[in-house]
Structure 1
Amino acid sequence: MAEVASRLQRVRIHRALSRPNLLFGADRELVLVTGLAAVILIFVVLTPISAIVGVAIWMLVIGLLRMMGKADPLMRKVYLRHLRYRPSYRPTASPWRRY
Structure 2
Amino acid sequence: MFPSPGNIQNERWHGDVDGGGHFPDVHRLPAHSCSRSSDASKPTTSNGQLRHTPIQRVFHRENLLMGGERELVMFTALVAGSIILTSQNLMAVAVGIPLYVICLALLRMMAKVDPEMSRVFLRQRRYQSYYPARSTPFVYENSSSRQKQ
SS in 2 for 1:12: coil
* Structure with more of its chain in helix, by fraction: 1
Give the Cα separation in 2 of the matches to 1:17 and 1:28.
16
Greater Cα shift, 16-25 or 59-68: 16-25
Give the Cα separation in 2 of the matches to 1:28 and 1:75.
12
Report the identity percentage.
35
Indicate whether 1:73 and 2:73 are aligned: no
Look up the match of 2:129.
87
Look up the match of 1:15.
57
Structure 1 stretches lacking a partner, 5+ long:
none
Shift of residue 52, structure 1, vs aligned partner = 2.4
How many residues in Structure 1 have an aligned counterpart in Structure 2?
Answer: 95
Look up the match of 1:55.
97
Letter in 2 for 1:42: I
Structure 2 stretches lacking a partner, 5+ long:
1-31, 36-44, 46-51, 141-149
Which stretches of structure 1, 4 residues or more, deviate above 3 A after TM superposition?
A: none
Give the Cα separation in 1 of the matches to 2:118 and 2:61.
15
RMSD of aligned alpha carbons: 2.4
Give the Cα separation in 2 of the matches to 1:20 and 1:85.
25
Shift of residue 92, structure 1, vs aligned partner = 2.4
Q: Which has the higher contact order (CA 8 A, sep 6+)?
A: 1
* TM-score with structure 1 setting the length: 0.82
* TM-score with structure 2 setting the length: 0.57
1:98–1:53 distance in 2 versus 1, CA, 3 Å: closer
Look up the match of 1:46.
88
Letter in 2 for 1:92: R
